[in-house]
Chains A and B, each alone.
Chain A
Amino acid sequence: MSEYTLDARNSLCPMPVIKTQNKVNELEAGDILTVTCTDPGALNDIPAWCRINGHEVVETCEHGSEVIIRIRVGDA
């Protein structure tokens, strides 16, 4: 299991979702990916994308204008 980060700041939905998807596709099941975004829409879209595609959102939080989402990659 490894930890990864993804900077999706200053891009508007659905780009943060697309960037997350493309990164997750390179990772192994169990890996953790922390995505940082500035579009608040990502708070809905990334978890929805995870639910659909079998990944788990471990945590979401907001820091000022940034949204941080931690994902555990599923094995689907």
Chain B
Amino acid sequence: MSKPRKAVALISGGLDSLLAAKLMLEQGIHVEGINFYTGFCVEGHTHAIRKKDKAKPKRNNALWSAEQLGIKLHILDIIEEYKDVVINPKHGYGANMNPCLDCKIFMISKAKQWMEENGFDFIITGEVVGQRPMSQRKDLLPVVVRESGIDDLLLRPLCAKNLAPTLPEREGWVDREKLLDFSGRNRKPQMALAKQFGFDDYATPAGGCCFLTDESYSKKLVDLWQARNKKEYELDDIMLLKVGRHIRPAPHYKLIVSREDGENKFLNGYRKQFSTIEIKSHNGPLTLVDGELSDDDFKQAARIAARFSQGRDADSVNVLITPLDGEAYSLDIAPMPASEIKQEWYV
């Protein structure tokens, strides 16, 4: 008997990639998963930061999928290389700052590289034609194939019957007849198939797979670039965009005000990188300050931070200001009234 062919499955943690991999396993293909970590992924950490989510046990859905399937999962850190995709997407952005088409091309080319380095035969994804705007339009699939260089080694088991046969089908490594013809946005066929395979409790992310499809997140990213006058970021920057209230009272500085205990703890880890404002006389949030501030700026920033403390209605609140490169000092200030905090300051 010939040895089984090996497929590398792009595992996102969602239902579609789970089903696509399962279909291959059913055909006796050896499957291993890869999952990309871009820094923008919704998976994992942010859920751990905010306390309100703590009741639910945290799980990484890609790992969960792999465990359901009984396959290995390799998580690839692509944070550095992915920057170019976000900063200079050749095909532009979607509705928000999501460079979906460039992202797909990039991920397929990385998967191809992994496939070659590890002696695998082809790639599978859970994509369904027409399911999401932009990245899964039928006329764009050839663009992904062409620009990633994957040629006909990319198989999409959930909609393969609607597409031209790929090499794994033509060579008989997989039986095309057993592949599917899902199309469009209707999720019912996927749900029925999940039931048939006995998968329940699978993840159903409301948005896309990453924060770049989120409108408010995208605004914060654009704001960051505008303030710096440069399109660039580090991992810490994009993590911080997920946390706290972001308030920019003036073009040259921004406050990140924690909203609850979990965020306080998280922001605490950034004390060495930012100036901070702490409320001393009352319970209140930790505030990180990004930018170079004058004494007057710090005063205004402290008044805003105090607005979010339990001393918001007090005449005076005591705060500790610790400038990034200076001595900490204490200040008594009057919290800024809500009416003075301009709506447009909220990023």
Contact = CB atoms under 8 A, between A and B. Distances in A.
A41 B269 contact: no
B77 A45 contact: no
Nearest to B76: A18
Interface string B276-316: 00000000000000000000000000000000000000000
Contact of B63 (A22, A39, A45, A76): A45
B60 A45 contact: yes
Interface of A: 10, 12-15, 17-18, 21-22, 39-41, 44-45, 48-49, 51-54, 76
Contacts of A51: 67
B60 A44 contact: yes
A17 B60 contact: yes
B37 A18 contact: yes
A54 B32 CA distance: 13
B37 A44 contact: no
A44 B58 contact: yes
B58 A41 contact: yes
Contacts of A14: 37, 41, 43-45, 60, 75
B57 interface: yes
Interface residues of B, number: 25
User: Which of A21, A45, A52 is packed against the most chain B CB atoms within 10 Å?
Assistant: A52
B146 interface: no
Which secondary structure characterizes the binding site on chain B?
mixed
Interface of B: 37, 41, 43-45, 47-49, 57-60, 63-64, 66-67, 71-77, 239, 269
Contact of B77 (A18, A40, A49): A18
Nearest to A22: B77
B63 to A, nearest CB: 4
Contact of A44 (B59, B72, B76, B77): B59
A17 B67 contact: no
B77 to A, nearest CB: 5
Given A45-B60, A48-B60, A39 B66 contact: no
Nearest to B37: A14
B45 A13 contact: yes
A42 B66 CA distance: 17
23 contacts: A12-B239, A13-B45, A13-B58, A14-B41, A14-B75, A15-B37, A17-B60, A17-B63, A17-B75, A18-B76, A39-B45, A41-B45, A41-B58, A44-B57, A44-B58, A44-B60, A45-B59, A45-B60, A48-B59, A48-B63, A53-B72, A53-B73, A54-B72
B73 A13 contact: no
Contact of A12 (B45, B66, B74, B76): B45
A57 to B, nearest CB: 14
A53 to B, nearest CB: 5
A49 B178 CA distance: 31
A76 B49 CA distance: 34
Contacts of B75: 14, 17-18, 21, 49
Sorted nearest first, the 8 A-B pairs with minimum C-beta distance are A12-B45, A13-B44, A48-B63, A41-B48, A41-B58, A45-B60, A52-B66, A18-B77
